[in-house]
Structure 1
């Protein structure tokens, strides 16, 4: 289980006083104090028409919280309703890829140093948004247009987060686990599981923690195009989750393994083979139906050819759309957002619009 980090009283402001910003999130007025802002991905009081950019936040302040989701006359037409059979057929053909995972850290420079020096990642880009009091850093093993990457968010003045018990770990494939662990130790990193074969298998693994307490599983593999290879989340009903991710997200169940000795079952879900693509690892612990998610982990972003059809498929699959599809106010990027049956958040981003943003 992931160690739950308590937030020290000296730095633990109430949720209504923290700006939880992220790449697809803007700071909206909190319910308790209009002068303070809260990220749209972590506030129960944010309306369903959540907004997801700095430019969007400026329009929100100008037009008010009841603004309809639109882009100044540039709203793309909503796709016509589709049947469940058509939806399931379309979602399998949609060009989808896991783009990045978003989470919050207490010291951005410290985390960047750890990821680049210990895990061999590259700092792809960094941006500061002083108006919204947050900074983003994108790190990974290759360009964002072809690799799954990490988006770190630092909110001014917040130096610690609760990782929660629901988030599991990130997986990183390395060619020599023991050598990587030695490097991490030399840099003062924390190793929580020494290198060795996985229980019940032959793959050599190790576990480490970054400075904020997020766990990384090091997996020994040969050269791979996608070293940042896993995001593990815990769920309360594995079959329910598998069914949802297959139907609503168009993911494939790559493999499933039950481990009765240690009372857990895992399912690997994704858009391609594990050795070439980032995958979602869902873990069910016997008898545990709910988890504390903390306030550190935010969401995964996935590319799609049509956010409108994506939203319809999610609804037909009994999913909850938390942001109706459409262009972001002020820019043309089209998105939609949802939560899975356990409340884990995902943002779908138009593929063409995403590439334009990277330009």
Structure 2
């Protein structure tokens, strides 16, 4: 692939030292891992690739992804850990032990003041079918695809209030025109 990337101001050419770098995962802190895992595995069809517990520091990490059909995920836990950290598009859910028992505990979702983190995004093959699936599973919408100025883009919330953008890629070619 020879595409050098778009070149807005500030872009610098990659150096040889960055060869092989890739974005592996993004992390969200979750209050209750059982509820968060139920949401991401049921509603988005993700699988837990690896769970890592850190007893001394009292937190757990759950690495989720959607392996491609026929992709060989190693059974051996050490091999699977290495494999997990070499993938693209992994979601890490971090649970600090005890938060699930605190009624008034919540993480900042990044979309209320002061704004910061915005959202993660899933691409789906059929946006209308996905919206119907969300409705059937009582998923909370921030924005439906037919609302607002940006059509064909939905935003939903997970159980911790984080926003998730949902798009059908072949409906977005017109963006930026």
TM over 0.5, shorter chain: yes
Given that 1:172 and 1:217 are in contact with CA atoms closer than 8 Å, whether structure 2 keeps it comes out as: yes
Q: Find the counterpart in structure 1 of residue 107 from structure 2.
A: 161
1:115 and 2:40 aligned = yes
Helix, strand or coil at the partner of 1:195: coil
d(CA) in 2 for partners of 1:112, 1:213: 14
Deviation at 1:167, TM superposition (A): 1.1
Distance 1:217 1:90, change over 3 A: same
Q: Which runs of 5+ in 2 are unaligned?
A: 1-11, 68-82, 101-105
Corresponding residue to 2:50 among 125, 135, 148? 125
From the CA coordinates, give the structure whose radius of gyration is larger: 1
Give the aligned length: 137
Given that 1:107 and 1:154 are in contact with CA atoms closer than 8 Å, whether structure 2 keeps it comes out as: yes
Helix, strand or coil at the partner of 1:101: strand
Q: Find the counterpart in structure 2 of residue 175 from structure 1.
A: 125
1:150 and 2:91 aligned = yes
Deviation at 1:192, TM superposition (A): 1.5
d(CA) in 1 for partners of 2:29, 2:14: 36
d(CA) in 2 for partners of 1:197, 1:106: 30
d(CA) in 1 for partners of 2:56, 2:95: 14
Deviation at 1:179, TM superposition (A): 1.5
Give me the CA root mean square deviation.
2.7
TM-score (norm 2): 0.67
Helix, strand or coil at the partner of 1:132: coil
Given that 1:137 and 1:151 are in contact with CA atoms closer than 8 Å, whether structure 2 keeps it comes out as: yes
1:192 and 2:142 aligned = yes
Distance 1:140 1:198, change over 3 A: farther
Given that 2:153 and 2:166 are in contact with CA atoms closer than 8 Å, whether structure 1 keeps it comes out as: yes
Q: Find the counterpart in structure 1 of residue 169 from structure 2.
A: 221
TM-score (norm 1): 0.35
Pick the structure with more strand per residue. 1
1:287-306 equivalence runs, <5 A: none
Q: Residue by residue, what CA displacement relative to the aligned partner does 1:69-105 show, whole Å, maximum 9, x if unpaired?
A: xxxxxxxxxxxxxxxxxx9562586222101111210
Q: Which runs of 5+ in 1 are unaligned?
A: 1-86, 223-255, 259-359
Given that 2:109 and 2:163 are in contact with CA atoms closer than 8 Å, whether structure 1 keeps it comes out as: no
Distance 1:92 1:205, change over 3 A: farther
d(CA) in 1 for partners of 2:14, 2:127: 41
Distance 1:209 1:91, change over 3 A: farther
Given that 1:181 and 1:191 are in contact with CA atoms closer than 8 Å, whether structure 2 keeps it comes out as: no
